[in-house]
Structure 1
Amino acid sequence: MKCTFGNIRLCISAMIMSGAMASCSSDEGYNDRIFYSSIVTIESTDEGAGTVFSFQRYDDSPLITLTAPDRTVDKKRVGTRALLYYYPESGDPYASGRVEIRSLGAINCDTAIIRPIERYEWDHDAIFLNALWRTGEYINLRMRAEYSDKPRYFGLVVDSLTLDNPWPEAYILHNLDGAPPGYLRESYASFDISKVWRQPGCLGLRIHVNDSNLPADTYVFPKKTE
Structure 2
Amino acid sequence: MMTNLFSIFDPSTNIFNISINWISSILGLTLIPFYFWMMPNRYNMLFNNILNKLNSEFKILIGFNKTNGTTLIFISLFIFIMFNNVMGIFSYIFTSTSHLITSFTITLPLWLSFMLYGWINHSEHMFSHLIPQGTPAVLMPFMVVIETISNLIRPGTLAVRLTANMIAGHLLLTLLSNNGTVISTKFVSFLIFIQILLLTLETAVAVIQSYVISILSTLYSKEVY
TM-score (norm 2): 0.19
* Higher strand content, 1 or 2: 1
Higher relative contact order (CA 8 A, sep 6+): 2
TM-score (norm 1): 0.19
* Higher helix content, 1 or 2: 2
Larger Rg: 2
